[in-house]
Amino acid sequence: MRLSKVLYFLFRHFLTILNKLLPKSEKVIVQGFPNNEGSAIEVYNYIATKKTLPVFFVIDKRLMNHPGELLIQPQLLEKSSLRFFYHYLTAKYIFFTHGSTLNSFSNKQIAVNIWHGLCYKPVGVLIGNRPIKVDLTVATSEFTKPMFMKSFGVPYQQVVGSGYPRNDIMIREKPRKIYYKQKLKLTSFNKIMIWLPTYRKAVVGEERSDGREIGNPFYISNFDISLFNSILEKHNVLCMVKPHPMAPIYDNQQGQSHLKFIDDQWLSDNGLTIYHLAAVSDLLISDVSSVIADYMMMDQPVVCVNEDFEEYKRTRGFYFDDIENWIPSRVCRSAEEFFQYLGSILETGVDPYEEQRRKIKKFFFDHDDGKSAERVVEAALSLVKP
């Protein structure tokens, strides 16, 4: 084990002991990744506007994004600063999306795992990580509660089917699609597509590899970007490609008339989260990632492309053995199949998976009222510790 990992382990152990000794006060810490993570922002804003509790939002200054105007009455804590540790170790309530600075929490704290995906792929305990023992873990429905229970090693009664706060953004902002197209100067296009690939090789946080690393942001070998642009141009569609924040930075091939690469910095500069962008869009392209489940809230077409689908199934795996029955799209296995399938949807306006998409949504989501942040915050604040 490298010295840096040993020191980090010892430091976390020290913080955990200190946390259990220090008194707690009525205040809230909210921490997400990246800095403009939708669920973290929605939870913060609900508390800031509806509660009298002091609430702090954690940012990592090493990341090239900032919550900026997305936060209401922002009180920011820079991660790893002395001020951050003081408030983190003395706060009664902690909400997070990507794990904690601590090995475990004090019995005087109420900790909430919002997480950041629907567990299409095994996570947490299911891939050998330690359980995330918290007071509440967010799920999206009664059907998905066992998925989160198994993934994080928590009892069923501590899983709350509130729905993901980030999906409140899509529901709230979808009626404002024209406003956002004007704001982003996209009104000249007939439709907007977003392409959100997951990573194959993570270079941020826990370094890992799943599936096959191709060396381009599409994860499709020999991808003909000019042909793709011509399909988009034919239908006057703009495709905005947003690589995963944990993925390597590839040489983006800008200069195409109907293709635009963006990143978290671009979102931050425009005062958006990825879920604002989803609300602007008319179609989602991704692989078998939890964003395709979130996007079912939009009731719009999804196109899945996974050239390495079988290899990904062997290396990372999926929660469902019959995974293709839980996907709102055909899984395209090649560039040729992808171009043909996408072209057909753009040409005809028909989504052949519309019925399956709506059927799956009923299993995955109990709520589509835009009040998930309210439900999870009220559930947390109502808890009484012995």
CATH number of the domain that residue 145 is part of: 3.40.50.11820
Q: Which amino acid is at 114?
A: I
Closest CA to 328 of 291, 281, 360, 375: 360
What is the C-alpha to C-alpha distance for residues 70 and 74, in angstroms, rounded to an integer?
A: 9
- 7 and 110 both lie in a single domain: yes
**Low-confidence spans in the chain with pLDDT less than 70:** 1, 3, 199-216, 244-254, 386
- Asked if residue 302 belongs to a domain, the reply is yes
pTM: 0.91
DSSP letters spanning 247-311: SPPP------TTEEE--HHHHHHTT--HHHHHHH-SEEEESSSTHHHHGGGGT--EEEE-TTHHH
Tell whether 158 and 233 lie within a shared domain: no
Chain centroid to CA 344: how far?
Answer: 29
CA atoms within 13 A on the CB side of 125: 11
- Determine, yes or no, domain membership for 386: no
Say yes or no: 95 and 244 in one domain: no
Amino acid at 172: R
The closest alpha carbon to 245, from 83, 93, 63, 69, belongs to 63
* 3 state DSSP class of 137: strand
Q: What is the pLDDT of residues 90-108, one digit of tens each?
A: 999 999 999 888 888 999 9
Query: In terms of domains, do 78 and 220 share one?
Result: no
Q: What domain range is 63 assigned to? A: 3-163+370-381
Same domain, 207 and 133: no
CA angle 134, 136, 141 (to 5 degrees): 140
Secondary structure letter of residue 58 according to DSSP: E
Judgement on whether residues 357 and 375 belong to the same structural domain of the protein? no
Residues 205 and 106 both lie in one domain: no
Query: What pLDDT is stored for residue 8 in this prediction?
Result: 79
Tell me, yes or no, whether 157 lies in a domain: yes
Q: Tell me what pLDDT residue 232 has.
A: 97
- The pLDDT score that the predictor gives to residue 222 is 84
81-120 per-residue burial string, b: 16 or more CB within 10 A, e: under 16: eeebbebbbbbbbbbbbbbbbbebbbeebbbbbbbbbbbb
Number of domains composing the chain = 2
Helices (H), the chain: 3-21, 38-50, 82-90, 145-152, 166-173, 177-183, 225-234, 264-269, 274-280, 291-294, 309-315, 335-348, 354-364, 372-381
Whole-Å CA distances, 123 to 148, 156, 186, 213, 286? 9, 17, 37, 20, 19
**Distances from the Cα of 140 to the Cα of 100, 122, 145, 350, 373, angstroms:** 21, 16, 7, 28, 12
Q: Assess whether 231 and 315 both reside in one domain.
A: yes
| CA 239 to centroid of chain Cα atoms | 20
Per the listing, tokens 């395709």 go with 292
Say if residue 144 is in the same domain as residue 192.
no
Q: Which residue in 106, 313, 347, 342 sits closest to 235, CA to CA?
A: 347
CB 160 within 8 A of CB 137: yes
What is d(CA 259, CA 54) in angstroms, rounded to the nearest whole number?
43
CATH number (domain holding residue 341)? 3.40.50.12580
Do 323 and 222 belong together in one domain?
Answer: yes
Distance, CA of 155 to chain centre: 24
pLDDT digits (tens, 9 = 90+) for 104-125: 899 999 999 999 888 888 889 9
Burial of 300 (0-12, 13-18, 19+ CB in 10 A): middle
The reply to whether 49 falls in a domain is: yes
Q: Are 66 and 268 contacting, i.e. CB atoms less than 8 angstroms apart?
A: yes
Pair 289, 332 in one domain: yes
Verify that 124 and 177 share a domain, yes or no.
no
Helix (H/G/I), strand (E/B), else coil: 312: helix
